[in-house]
Amino acid sequence: MTAPTTKDRPLVMGILNVTPDSFSDGGRWFGTDEAVARGGQMIAEGADVVDVGGESTRPGAEPVGVKEELRRVVPVVEALASRVRVSVDTTKEAVAEAAVDAGASLVNDVSATLWPVAARRKVGWVAMHRKGTPATMQADPSYDDVVREVADFLVERAADAARGGVHEVWIDPGIGFGKTVSHNLELLAAISTLVGTGYPVMVGTSRKRFIGVLTAEGEEPDPVEERLPGSLATATWAMQGGARMVRVHDVAPTVQAATLVGRRPGDPEDRP
């Protein structure tokens, strides 16, 4: 399965949430102008892909209607697509279609159902695993073997998509989507199992709650704005395991981390 990369490092996807309620940056880039400016900043910081989303997937988030999601996403995609590869983070077919019309070339699909759009429109597709819906997913997630279940699910969906004519299929374990802290850690420790399926792997840990839980000294998770070191550590962990793309809020530090992953003494780039 092809995963276009011209870089000798894993790719960095910058998160652009055009939403009032995303868990870490909700409301900050809600206006079109603010969102486009934020996208420009991420391009300047070295983002390989900018992922534009108009509906929060955080636990308990309010669903957004198609019309409103289109209003949020389409102008931003349109403004950025000539400058960088744009993906659209949506679970709605109509929004995926409109974003592709506006220039997006990757559909980032946390529902893992939209491959027919990618096949029809000849764009890439990210299949992410989740258990349940945003309303229910963190209630009491349980698995017999989380790595096996996630890998089997993703391979089945990816194979359907490949058979259906999608030429670029990414798989993503869906860190935090119906997973406990231990499930997230098990999946990060087993990225090589996903890599072994042959599909390029993408991972999103950025600023997620499990980071704040693991570093907290008291009952409350450390706040979102204090999760950058843990975000970099987990992104690096995933890249070291073979992930070919990481989805992050903090582009510049992650590009630096990605550049260092896999560097070895004797590389042509070595300088005294």
The nearer residue to ligand HH2, 205 or 255, going by C-beta atoms, is: 205
Residue 256 in tokens: 């630096």
Active site residue 208: yes
Select the residue whose beta carbon is closest to ligand HH2 and give its number. Answer: 204
Site for ligand HH2 in 68-107 (CB under 6 A): 89
110 binds ligand HH2 (CB under 6 A): yes
**Quick one: 155 or 271, whose CB is closer to ligand HH2?**
155
Distance separating alpha carbons of residues 215 and 90, to the nearest angstrom = 31
- Which candidate in 179, 208, 209, 244 is catalytic? 208
Given the rule CB under 6 A, which of 49-57, 93-101, 211-219, 256-264 is the region that contacts ligand HH2? Answer: 49-57
Smallest CA-to-CA distance from 42 within 103, 84, 99 is with 84
If the CB atoms of residues 217 and 244 are measured against ligand HH2, the closer one turns out to be 244
User: How many Cβ atoms from other residues are within 10 Å of residue 194's Cβ?
Assistant: 27
Out of 77, 128, 248, 257, the residue judged to bind ligand HH2 by CB under 6 A: 128
114 is a site residue for ligand HH2 (CB under 6 A): no
Among 11, 14, 18, 19, binds ligand HH2 (CB under 6 A): 19
CA separation for the pair 100, 231 (Å, rounded): 30
Alpha-carbon distance of 94 to 75, in angstroms, equals 15
Give the residue with the Cβ less far from ligand HH2, 135 or 267. Answer: 135
Helix axes 228-240, 181-189, angle to 10 degrees: 40
Nearest Cα to Cα of residue 109 among 127, 92, 133: 127
DSSP 30: -
C-alpha 173/C-alpha 151 separation (Å) is 8
Residues 6+ apart with CB under 8 A from 139: 132
Comparison of 176 and 267: residue with beta carbon closer to ligand HH2: 176
Q: What is the DSSP letter of 103?
A: T
244 as an active site residue: the answer is no
Stretch in the footprint of ligand HH2 (CB under 6 A) among 36-44, 55-63, 73-81, 222-230? 55-63
- The angle subtended at Cα 1 by Cα 206 and Cα 178, nearest 5°, is 35
Helical ranges in the chain per DSSP H? 32-44, 66-80, 93-101, 115-121, 146-163, 181-189, 191-195, 209-215, 228-240, 251-260
Q: Is residue 175 close enough to count as binding ligand HH2 by CB under 6 A?
A: yes
Least spacing, CB of residue 167 vs ligand HH2, in Å: 18
Q: Which stretch binds ligand HH2 (CB under 6 A): 13-21, 185-193, 217-225, 264-272?
A: 13-21
Binding site for ligand HH2 (CB under 6 A): 15, 17, 19, 22-24, 53, 56-58, 89, 108, 110, 126, 128, 172, 174-175, 202, 204, 247
User: Catalytic amino acids?
Assistant: 208, 247
